[in-house]
Amino acid sequence: MIEAGTPAPDFKLRDQDGADVSLEDLRGQTVVLVFYPLDFSPVCTDQLSIYQELVQDFDQRGVKLYGVSVDSPFAHKAFQERLNLTIPLLADFEPKGAVAKSYGVYNDDYGTSQRALVMIGPDGVVKWSYCSPSALEIPGANLIFDALEPSAA
């Protein structure tokens, strides 16, 4: 898994609306890439629903979340609408898992990303990362908030 202090690998992915989103577009802000296995799976549904409840808290701290999975933009759109998500969802669809691989969080056994969080600073450098020990374990939002504390830097 990618480590703090590493320049974040560049990417350009389509979001749920078909718009391209690149790392360059996100420069100047603190971003958390929320890698998750699949839209509509029970644990992923719970994870993104929890983060959605805290979107305003993340916004107040200057953090923007982006979900990333190997699903298509069309699946992301349906998932976003079903859960009433405002968190943008990025499709690491083709080539499948290329971004997850570049961040060291692709699971070859299942063909999905692992459940992982990567915080990228305004300068494009990884500030913090976390990978769940199991696909069934949701990384709590408290991990993100703790990583934002000055003592974590």
Active site residues: 44
Strands 30-35 and 63-69: parallel
Task: Give CA 87 to chain center in angstroms.
Answer: 10
- Give backbone dihedrals phi and psi of 8, rounded to 5 degrees, phi first: -65, 130
**Per-residue DSSP letter, 151:** G
- CB burial string 27-37: b at 16+ within 10 A, e below: eeebbbbbbbb
